[in-house]
Amino acid sequence: MLDETFTPHGKHLIAGEWIAGDATFQSEPASGSAHEFSVGTPALVDRACAAAEEAFWSYGYSTREERAAFLEKIADEIEARGAQITAIGTSETGLPAARLEGERGRTTGQLRLFASHIRDGAYLDRRHDAALPDRQPLPRPELHMIQRPIGPVAVFGASNFPLAFSTAGGDTAAALAAGCPVVVKGHSAHPGTGEIVAEAIHAAVQACGVHPGTFSLIQGGKRDVGQALVQHKAIKAVGFTGSLAGGRALFDLCAQRPEPIPFFGELGSVNPMFLLPNALAARGAEIGKGWAGSLTMGVGQFCTNPGIAIGLAGSALDSFADAAGEALGGVSPQVMLTDGIASAYRSGRARVAGTSGVEAMLDATSENRNAAPALFRTTGAAFRSEPDLAEEVFGPLGIVVAVESEDEMLEIARGFHGQLTATLQLDAEDVPTARRLMPVLERKAGRLLANGYPTGVEVCDSMVHGGPYPASTNFGATSVGTLSIRRFLRPVCFQNIPHDLLPGDLQ
């Protein structure tokens, strides 16, 4: 076990070399000392992408067992630095140690899950049609099909998950599992955390004899660095978790390339929760308390935060809202990930509070980098007339929408844009109402829940973390779970190719 003390050196990792730059930026930790980090440049992007393309000629054709062992070694190296990662991560983000330790377990767990997944081989979707030389009127050739890696992938680190969605997070794990080298643009909110995780990957590269260009980390940099990365000719796909504005700008850049490439952006969601009448009457207060816990988990900084609850106006909804307000009122202000996120939360809260037809039930002052929970209430008519109320506020804010009928609830459901999740709180007697909502919600969200809260995302085979735009930029993909490997693969058909020339997984 390494010593808990970790002092970042502030360099980029480019194809196995730690490289300093001429310009630097200073981290803005929630606590502890700030550190200097080199600023990324388009020239460094070009160097990293060229190395990734060179690495693909070996890594892209490595065996599944070689890649699985590499993923497992990365997990081992991350765990060996566990105390250091927690120390620098809590300092930079303000997240509690228990949260960072849990997220580290998720990060190493998904690396090992992908190792198991590629060993199994089912993801290759191997297909074979034998030759039919005597078929009339025309013979059929022998055909094999298999999924093959697409090439180097760019990954953008996320602000709200410094481990599970960043340097060695789900996008990186899926791409490496598929056989794709990765170039990561680290998030400036937690550069020290990104650096130590990159050290773990670098150690695994050396231990496993992997081409050093298989992984690079570029820190900081302005928009020109992100633009250079997504538009580099060597990059064949992009993984991104972040804001709608930033993601859409990168998405457009990918589409404007001479060779357009897929941009897999997870851009956020309000994750509506529908309170069906019988469940609301039977246990509205209980649901309200649970909703408050979900809203404030991680200071509301989850893309699956269920920010809007819709129910029939009446005493049952009043009990739900009162219980939620009481629970939220007992939560002290907490530190947000960055000053910018805290400022955006205050702006979003002010926008909601200033909207016509909105009543504040709880609206404590939030100062500096801290965020206090906020709760608002409005009518279905006001909600439908004010589209901005359906826009995400990143933080611990909830809106209760009181509708006059189940038909109005259905109308509101139809009016939502694409979502990551949608939740039904229901009892057995609510099934007829739920049956009306289900076809609508299935078209709106990537994951539907009953009698739960969406702020836990299980990493497994069946999970879908994505949805119609603007929840994500590709409704056919997920950024969590083993299906996410498909983003970095493409089908290739081999016709009458001699057996010895076929990919090893087809022999």
Which residue numbers are catalytic?
Answer: 266, 303
Enumerate the H helices of 179-276 as residue ranges: 191-208, 223-230, 244-256
Question: What single letter denotes the amino acid at residue 248?
Answer: R
Q: Which residues contact 68 (CB under 8 A, 6 or more apart)?
A: 114, 115, 116, 118, 119, 177
**Cβ neighbours, 10 Å, residue 252:** 11
Q: Which residues contact 446 (CB under 8 A, 6 or more apart)?
A: 419, 420, 421, 464, 465, 466, 467, 468, 471, 472, 475, 478
Q: Which residues, in sequence order, are bridge partners of residue 402? A: 311, 379
Whole-angstrom distance, CA of residue 254 vs CA of residue 268: 19
**Cβ neighbours, 10 Å, residue 135:** 9
The SS3 call for residue 402 is strand
Whole-angstrom distance, CA of residue 365 vs CA of residue 332: 11
Whole-angstrom distance, CA of residue 100 vs CA of residue 271: 24
Whole-angstrom distance, CA of residue 125 vs CA of residue 122: 6
- Contact between 181 and 154 under an 8 Å Cβ cutoff? The reply is no
Angle separating helix axes 42-59 and 223-230, nearest 10 degrees: 30
